[in-house]
């Protein structure tokens, strides 16, 4: 399986689809941004660049918070997809969140998230994954399985991530997993924003 599928116990009515696409061309990304801005239903996904993503847990946290905000009718953003992007940000500014975490022409790696009904079958998820591949450029796009190892070794820009989350002075225990420590700090920053 080249995508992640998860469900949260608190939200049994949803299945979460998360997948990584590499090698997306700049022109395609520009087209996606145009489609998102125009509200084209074909682009009803949460498109993320990978620069500031440190772990799958960070993605799960953002989706969970967005679903909780939707349930409590306290969303700040107009859509669930934009709310997910906002929940990745350490500050409560939608424009800044979209600029830092949304799809970016200068980043050819794209993470796509889609919140679906829990009744979505594996066959439907496979079709969805195939349609996203076509949307992002077809056979020129690779679709490796997203995991913490690939995020940490290939995707995240640690210098930019530390700057965005103001972690340059963070004390990190080098005897443990650096990625795990930074992931926890990033999630804590998002939980504390606006406090």
11-49 pLDDT per residue, tens: 999 999 999 999 999 999 999 999 999 999 999 999 999
pTM given for the model:
0.90
135-170 pLDDT per residue, tens: 999 888 999 999 988 988 889 888 888 888 887 776
pLDDT at 179: 73
Which ranges in 105-177 belong to alpha helices (H)? 122-135, 148-150, 158-164
* Arithmetic mean of pLDDT, 122-135: 96
> Rounded to an integer, what is the distance from CA 175 to the centroid of its chain?
28
At 14, list the tokens: 């949803």
Q: Would you kindly state where each structural domain of the chain is located, as residue ranges? A: 3-192
Residues 100, 78, 21, 167: is their CA dihedral positive or negative? positive
What architecture is domain 3-192? 2-Layer Sandwich (3.30)
Beta strands 46-49 and 11-21 are unpaired
Name residues whose C-beta falls within 8 Å of residue 37's C-beta, 6 or more positions apart in sequence. Answer: none
pLDDT at 175: 47
Neighbour tally for 121: CB within 10 Å: 9
pLDDT at 41: 93
Which of 28-37, 93-102, 180-189 is the least confident region? 180-189
Of the chain, the percentage scoring pLDDT greater than 70 comes to: 93
């Amino acid at each position: 399986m080249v995508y992640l599928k998860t469900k949260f116990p608190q939200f049994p009515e949803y299945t979460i689809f998360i997948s990584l696409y590499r090698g997306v061309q700049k022109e395609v990304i520009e087209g996606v941004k145009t489609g998102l801005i125009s509200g084209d239903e074909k682009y009803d996904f949460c498109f993320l660049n990978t620069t500031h993503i440190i772990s799958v847990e960070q993605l799960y946290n953002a989706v969970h918070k967005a679903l909780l905000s939707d349930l409590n009718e306290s969303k700040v953003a107009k859509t669930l997809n934009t709310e997910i992007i906002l929940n990745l940000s350490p500050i409560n500014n939608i424009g800044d969140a979209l600029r830092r975490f949304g799809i970016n022409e200068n980043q050819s790696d794209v993470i796509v998230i889609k919140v679906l009904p829990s009744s979505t079958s594996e066959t439907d998820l496979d079709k969805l994954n195939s349609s996203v591949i076509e949307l992002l450029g077809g056979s020129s796009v690779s679709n490796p399985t997203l995991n913490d190892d690939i995020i940490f070794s290939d995707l995240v820009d640690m210098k930019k991530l530390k700057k965005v989350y103001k972690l340059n002075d963070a004390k990190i225990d080098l005897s443990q997993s650096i990625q795990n420590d930074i992931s926890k700090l990033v999630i804590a920053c998002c939980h504390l924003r606006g406090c």
